Structure 1
Amino acid sequence: MTGNETSTAGTGPATGNLLLAAAPIGRPEDASARLRAALAGAEIIAAEDTRRLRRLAADLDVPIAAKVVAYHDHNERARAEELVGELLAGRDVLVITDAGLPGVSDPGYRLVRAAVAAGVPVTALPGPSAVTTALVVSGLPTDRFCFEGFPPRKPGERARALEALAAEPRTMVFFESPRRLDRTLADMAAAFGADRPAAVCRELTKTYEEVRRGPLGELADWADEHVRGEITIVVGGAPEPAGLSEPADLAAAVAAREEAGTPRKQAISEVAKANGLPKRTVYDAVVAARG
């Protein structure tokens, strides 16, 4: 870790440093020399799973002399206050999760916010990330991307969240449980279109790593089989709209489909997909036209 810094510009007592340490997402040998040194020299280690921390340390042949405390989703708020107290008392704290970088769909964000508010120096020990690893092996554009974490678990909430992303032009990265993968991919196909390119990355950097690429509709069919392991989904961004955009034109397109016998809800969905727009945009156009 770096040396102590003052909590304000040259005034006030010295505080400890908060270090966010990236852990390997698969193989222990991917750990950096800096991570080994940081674990060996830490004063306090806040670990998402203390058993997995000790297993990693054993794999790396690193002795742990630090005080080790559990820091996970269920105690994050209370533990953050306790750890800030340690930092303000001048002790360094290293945060490590089971895999990847703390704060990215893992505990860490609340502690960072509290440490920043308290004037505590915060730094990161960079390393593996499932987000960027999946992105670069997906074969999808990498120049602009966004990370959306885990989609909502409840079907209705998940469908609405994905629908709100239908027009997102950047490549999107998601985490998902293997138990919900088939349903999530089916919802993505419904929201983004069955032909939207995507990749399902399973067990990245591990022995049984697998990257399955294809249209969302095909991937949803494939995921009907039982899929195991850590899952990261990468979805291509929405293509540039090549069709209608004016509200009056969108409303007219919906009306034409209704006259042909298509139910209004389905007609709105079809027009939205055909023009690379969220269904809400088309719905609002229909409401405005009828008003």
Structure 2
Amino acid sequence: MPGQLYVVATPIGNLGDMVPRAVEVLHAVDLIAAEDTRHSGRLLKHLGIDTPLVAYHDHSDERQMGRVLDMLVQGQTVALISDAGTPLISDPGYRLVREARLQDIRVTPIPGACAAIAALSASGLPSDRFSFEGFPPPKTAARVKRFETLAESAQTMIFYESPHRILDTLRDMITTFGPDREAVLAREITKTFETFLTGTLTTILQQVCADSNQQKGEMVVMVKGNVDAVSASEAEQLRILKTLLDDLPVKQAAALAARITGGRKNALYQLALSLRPD
């Protein structure tokens, strides 16, 4: 029987956030595949774990991935960890997990810390709909182009960014999303100097420029969605619904409007009833 690949989340700062199940798995597996063995070695030493450790990341050659897969095919167990947080969430591991699944090897997630979700949960921004965008492109032109494709998005957007690019990224966000777009910058989450800066993109940029300490550490930038885009979408749904009601029964018009616009069928049905109660 094939072995099992565990995708194990590790703390993003505070070692107390390591969940007991993750510790049990790391003790029990035959091998731990880590993004950086030196970094992960310190965590494992802290936890008293002496499981064999090898380097694995998305730039590893095919031979290294092949060695890990061979172990799994032979019935052994492997835990995949990254430097911090949940593997594959803007961290290495996609190729290994995909290949394991293609070979019918069981892949089991061991949930834990994730910087994007931790930041969003404490941001105060809408969290019913959001998109994780990872790291923006490092070059200005490509970064602006990426932001332009997101400018009309109605959902909260979550980005990771490095300290040496944070100022340029905030400036480019102001250019594309607008100076008054609401945003939150979360820095050093779960660590000693954890900070949340809340306001418009302009006020956040001013705060970061004024305090060099805000230009250090791990950063998550969250940008509120375009509220006007929501209004425009609702206006388009109303326009299409009214047109369909000229020729179709209420229930059929609402169902078709939902298919065309991607709107919620029940909400459009209630709206149709209000427009044509008969």
Residue equivalent to 2:110: 125
Q: Deviations over 1:127-163 (max 9, x none)?
A: 0100100101111001111100000001100000000
Q: Does the CA contact (< 8 Å) of 1:167 and 1:237 recur in 2?
A: yes
Equivalent-residue separation in structure 2 for 1:163 and 1:56 (angstroms): 40
1:71-150 matched pairs, under 5 angstroms: 71-75=56-60, 77-150=62-135
What residue in structure 1 maps to residue 12 of structure 2?
Answer: 25
Question: How large is the RMSD of aligned CA atoms in angstroms?
Answer: 1.8
Q: Could you tell me how far apart the structure 1 residues matched to 2:108 and 2:61 are?
A: 19
Return the alpha-carbon distance in structure 2 between the equivalents of residues 159 and 78 of structure 1: 37
The residue type paired with residue 226 of structure 2 is A
Structure 2: state its 5+ residue gaps: 237-278
Greater helix content: 2
2:58/2:93 contact within 8 Å kept: no
Deviation at 1:82, TM superposition (A): 2.4
1:36 pairs with one of 9, 19, 23: 23
Within 5 A, what are the aligned runs for 1:1-291?
A: 14-60=1-47, 62-64=48-50, 66-75=51-60, 77-224=62-209, 225-226=211-212, 227-241=215-229
Contact 2:151 2:176 in 1 (8 A): yes
Judge conservation of contact 1:189–1:220 (CA < 8 Å) in 2. Answer: no
Change (3 A) 1:147 1:77: farther
Which ranges of 4 or more aligned residues in structure 1 deviate by more than 4 Å?
A: 242-246
CA contact (8 A) 1:47 1:68 kept: yes
Instruction: Report the alpha carbon displacement of residue 76 of structure 1 after superposing the two structures with TM.
Output: 6.1
* Cα displacement (A) at 1:89: 1.2
For normalisation by structure 1, the TM-score amounts to 0.76
Q: CA deviation at 1:59?
A: 2.1
Q: 1:91 to 1:243 in 2, by over 3 A?
A: closer
- Structure 1 unaligned spans of 5+: 1-13, 247-291
In structure 2, give the amino acid aligned to 1:108: G
Aligned-partner residue type, residue 69 of structure 2? V
Number of aligned residue pairs: give it.
Answer: 231
Are the equivalent residues in 2 in contact too, given 1:81–1:114 (CA < 8 A)?
no
Alignment-derived partner of residue 269 in structure 2: none
Deviation track 1:182-213 (CA, whole Å, cap 9, x = no partner) reads 00011111111111100010000011100001
Q: Tell me how far 1:240 sits from its aligned partner.
A: 3.0
Contact 1:76 1:107 in 2 (8 A): no
